Amino acid sequence: MDNRPIGLFDSGVGGLTVLRVLQRQLPQESVIYYGDLARLPYGSKTPAEIIAINDDILAYLSGRGVKLIIVACNTSSAIALEHSKNKTAVPLIGVIGPGANTAFAVTKNKKIGVLATEATVKLRVYSKILTSLNPSLEVFEQACPKFVPLIERGAAASPELQAAVEEYLAPLLRQGVDTLIYGCTHYPLIEKAIRAYAGNDLEYVDPAVGTVALAKEILERENLLAENHAQCEFVASVIQGGQYVRVDGRELLLRGASA
């Protein structure tokens, strides 16, 4: 048994969708959740910027003594995961591989849509993983740059969000996709709006489910599961007086998640 916490980070409130699944599937595990509010959104940043951000957060979480780290951000997983594995001695997992594997398992017509950030779409990482599983799969990746700012502003029920959903979903529906991957952990927070437009006949894939299953598998294999010792600490980065600082992030993060 190992009661050290799991580290989990994202650019803002999106990773709370992974935390929600983690607390359901592994309720005995303690977590340090890091929301990098000062530097969001990640999707428009350069690879060098993303790698530097990852290095900074991994150093912080490693210094806090975590036993496993979940990169609860598709952009960071796509750009920096392999690089970051050399930066920490603890197991490190991202969300893209588990999401792709789930989509591969559930699609029937072999047409898969991916909603993601600009950076993730530019790398076409979902397409590469999925077509390596089956070259006959057709993968349509759609960048959604308006989603994260709207979600973080608490505008998830706004006319702007509705217009963005139509803008980004329409091209995928025209391609006849039967499976849709939330290629950003923020997007399950607007699932109601997405389903209202696209309908309930699609298979909706939240990579958080497969990611937590993989985390559980690793913890079991490495004898790292905790006993009944669950605590959750929130840390957020903010700009105060022109300086980048870390603060208790519970109020900030939960306020954003309520959107």
Binding site membership for substrate: which residues? 10-11, 42-43, 74-75, 185-186
Catalytic site residue 73?
yes
DSSP, residue by residue, 229-241: ---EEEEEEEEET
Q: Are 12 and 148 in contact (CB under 8 A)?
A: yes
Annotated binding site: 10-11, 42-43, 74-75, 185-186
Given the residues 66, 72, 73, 164, select the one marked as catalytic: 73
Rounded distance, CA 157 to CA 124, Å?
A: 29
Report d(CA 224, CA 235) in Å as an integer: 23
Strands 138-143, 92-93: parallel, antiparallel or unpaired by DSSP?
A: unpaired
Distance between CA 215 and CA 28 in Å, rounded? 13
Question: Is 232 considered catalytic here?
Answer: no
Q: Catalytic one among 8, 70, 172, 184?
A: 184
Give the residues across from 33 on adjacent strands: 8, 234
CA distance 14 to 169: 20
Amino acid at 206: D
Catalytically annotated residues? 73, 184
